[in-house]
Structure 1
């Protein structure tokens, strides 16, 4: 699954519900990739400051593990905008603390 430049448009309750649903939908062996925009909110846009660390912690609450964390400058060369890229996968099931 790919969520490109979407996550920061969701408020906190929406992000919680969305992450829960993503964790339910991702197939075993599948991945969830998303990008986060960091920087000032353009006038007239609904956006929220969301950190990569907050997003990783939320994913872990729903059984998703981060397998990639990246950060880059803005491709439109906006000095005050940067992007995080995160990729998650479902954690393998465990029985009594033993991974399968």
Structure 2
């Protein structure tokens, strides 16, 4: 699940999550093409993502706490470029 991001926004998501959460596994999946023509679609692309992440930082954390950790790591990128983000966060061994 260590998928290599392709575009600049996906690359930035990957870099920020690696720096903040030191994941064992990380996949940043660009779902933007699936949303072409829908509300929130950015014609520049890279507006909808799924993040699949496994990190020790999530051990003992609730689903809400895990999502908050991801959102904090991404900061203003969520407000400026990302319209939708699906998060699948787990601790090692889950």
TM surpasses 0.5: no
- What's the TM-score, normalizing by structure 2? 0.30
Pick the structure with greater CA Rg: 1
- What's the TM-score, normalizing by structure 1? 0.29
